[in-house]
Amino acid sequence: MKKEKLEIMRHSTSHLMAAAILELYPKAKFGIGPVIENGFYYDIDLPKQLSINDLPKIEKKMKELAKKNLKFERKEMTINQAMKLFKDLNQPYKIELLEDIKKYGTTIKNKKLEIKEKKQNKVSIYKLGKFIDLCRGPHVKSTKEIGVFKLIKIAGAYWRGDIKNKMLQRIYGIAFETKEELDKFLEIQKEAEKRDHRKIGPELGLFILDEKFGQGLPLWLPKGAIMRQIMEDFILKEYLKRGYQLVRTPHIANLELFKTSGHWNFYRESMYSPIKVENEEYMIKPMNCPGHLIIYKNSIHSYREFPIRYTELGTVYRYEKSGTLHGLIRVRGFTQDDAHILCRPQQLHQELVGVIKLTKFILKSFGLKNYNVYLSLRDQKNKKKYMGSNKIWDLSEKALIKALESEKIEYKKVVGEAAFYGPKIDVKVKDALNREWQISTLQVDFNLPERFDITYINEKGKKERPIMLHRALLGSLERFTGLLIEHYAGAFPVWLSPVQIYIASVGKRHRKFAQKLANEFKKYDLRVEVNNLNETIGYKVRTAEKQKIPYILVIGDKEMKSKYLNVRERGKKKIKKMIKKKFIEKVLKEIEKKK
C-alpha cells in the first residue's frame, strides 16, 4: 500500500477508535486525532481514567463496528452551522477549533506568527456511526477498507500542548494493511523495549535522570562519564588532526549577543528567560556560535589564515516541554561536538566536502554505517521565518547540493526544515532495528558573519566577509550515547566499553593475584574491574555478564599456577585458554581497529 493510502487508512482508524469510545463512554469529549508514524492517536476528555487494561475492550468494540461496514459520510456546512452541531453534541474542543478557523483561517493559533491564510466560511465534517468529527479528510469509503490495528498505550497530553490547559487522555494505536506487517512491527517494538536506553543506561551504571536535580538534565555516573570521556578524546583527537582549533566559551552570555545573532527573535521559544545581573541581562546559552564569533573578532585576520576551524565540546541549554523529554534523546542541557568553520568563497566546496568525509569516518568508527541524508531547504512560501537575502539562500543551497553530488551521496530534499539562518544537511543514522536517529548536521551561514560584522583582509589589503559553516557530527553527546546504547543493546565494542576486562577471584587467597593481574593490564591503559568481594564465583560471573563486559577472567588455584588465562568472551559459551601476552595483544588490537 502506498504511503498516502496507508495514512488515509490510519486516520480512518483513529475515527473508528473514537466511534468505539463514544459507544462505550457516551460522555467522551474529543480533541484531535491525527496520523503519526505507524499509526494514530486521539486526545480524549473522559469521565474516567483509562488504563492499559481498558484497551482490549475498546479494540473489541472497534472490531464490532468495523464488521458492520460503516460508511464514512462527508458533509460540508458553514462554520456557524458546525458550531451549532458540536454545541448540541456537547463537544467543546471542536467548538474551540472552529472559533480559531473563523478568526485565523486555521486551527493553529500562534501569536508570534502573522497568519494570513485565506479565511474560509465552510468546513467539512465526517460521520461514522454515532461519531461526528470536524475533519478535512480524506477517509476510506467504509470500515471494510480498514486493515489490522492494535491499541498500544495511553498517555497524558495537555490540550493543544499548553500546560495551562486541561490534560486529556491520549490513546495511541498502530495500523497496517496486513497482520504480517503488524506482527513484524510488534516484534521490533518488543526488541526496542529490550534496548531502551532509559532502562539499560541506569542498569549499566551509565547515567540517571532525577527530577530532584531537574527534568531533562542527565547525571553521568562513573562508568558513563568514562565512556563519554573516551568518545570526547577520540573525536577531539580526530578534529585536531584535521586542523581544528580548540576553544572554550562560558555557559552564560549577555542577552545582547543573542539579539545580534538573531536567536532572540527567531529562537526565543526554545531559550530560557534572561538572568538579571546588576544592570545587565544574561542568557543561559542555547548555541555556541556567537561565542566563537566573538573569539574570532578578538584579532584581525588575514586571508592566509583561512580556513579557520574552531571546535568546542560546548554545553548548551534549551527549553523543551516536559512532555517531550525522553531519556538522553531529548534533554534540556546537552553537549555538542560543535564546530564553526570560517572560509573564503573559493574554499567553500572543499570545506563542505571535508566535513562530509569526516562525518562518514566518525560514524563508521562508532560502527554506524547505515544512514540517510536529508537536505533541509527554505520554504519559499514562508520567507519571514528566515534571515538573509534570496541571493544568499540560493548560493548556500547550491553549494550544499554540489558537495553532496560530488561525493556521490544520495539525499532527499526537505522543504521548510532549514535553520532560520541557512540551509543544512542532516544525517539520520539507522540503528540495529533500522530506526532513524537525527545525529549529524552541517549548515551554511552567510548571515551571522554579516550580523557580527566578521571580516578578514584579502590579497588586496581590503576587508572581505567570510562564509561560516556550523557542524556537529555526533550532534549531542547525550543523544549519541542514547543511540549507541540502543544500537548495541549495551554490549559496546571493546574500545568503547567502560570496563573492558572483569577479574573475579574465587576466594580470599586469590585476591592479591587478581589485583596484581589487573595492575598489569592497567599499564596498557586497559580498563579493568576486580571483584574481590565475598560472593560466590557464579554470582560474580553473572554480574559481569549482566554488565555486558567484553572479557571475564576467573582467578582460582588453577589460574594462579598456570601460565594460561581462562578467558570468557562476551556472547560466547566456550572458555578460551590464552597466554597473558597473547590476550593483551588481542584486546589491544580490537581497540586499535575499533571492532
Residue 522: φ, ψ to 5°: -65, -25
Concerning whether 547 is annotated as a catalytic residue, the answer is no
483, containing H or E segment: helix 477-488
- Decide: residue 320, CB within 10 A, 0-12 exposed, 13-18 middle, 19+ buried: middle
User: Is 135 designated active site?
Assistant: no
Place of cell 551554511: 444
Give yes or no for a contact between 21 and 154, defined as CB atoms under 8 angstroms apart.
no
**Catalytic-labelled residue, pool 29, 318, 527, 548:** 318
Is residue 16 classed as helix, strand or coil in its secondary structure? helix
- Which listed residue (94, 228, 470, 487) is catalytic? 470
Instruction: Give buried/exposed letters for 290-316 (b at 16+ CB in 10 A, else e).
Output: bbbbebbeeeebeeeebbbbbbbbbbb
- Is-contact 17 171, C-beta < 8 A? yes
Q: Is 318 a catalytic residue?
A: yes
Could you say which of 11, 29, 43, 289 is catalytic?
A: 289
Lookup: cell for 497: 566499553
Catalytic site residue 289? yes
Q: How far apart are CA 137 and CA 132, in angstroms?
A: 12
Mapped onto helix, strand or coil, the DSSP state of residue 173 is: strand
Of the listed 94, 285, 340, 510, which one is catalytic?
340
Considering 15, 160, 170, 424, which one is annotated as catalytic?
424
Lookup: cell for 275: 538572568
Task: Find the catalytic residue in 133, 338, 431, 445.
Answer: 338
DSSP of 450-481, one letter per residue? HHTT--EE-TTS-EEPPEEEEEEEEEEHHHHH
**Does 229 qualify as catalytic in the annotation?**
no
Taking alpha carbons only, the member of 235, 481, 484 closest to residue 358 is 235
Classify burial at 81, counting beta carbons within 10 Å of its beta carbon; exposed 0-12, middle 13-18, buried 19 or more.
middle
Q: How far apart are CA 82 and CA 332, in angstroms?
A: 41
- Cis status, amide bond into 307, omega within 30 of 0: yes
Contact call for residues 446 and 391 (beta carbons, < 8 A): no
Catalytic residue among 54, 94, 139, 336: 336
Residue 510 is a catalytic residue: no
Q: Could you confirm whether 100 is annotated as catalytic?
A: no
Instruction: Give CA–CA dist 352/411, Å, rounded.
Output: 15
Question: Which of the residues are catalytic?
Answer: 289, 318, 336, 338, 340, 424, 470
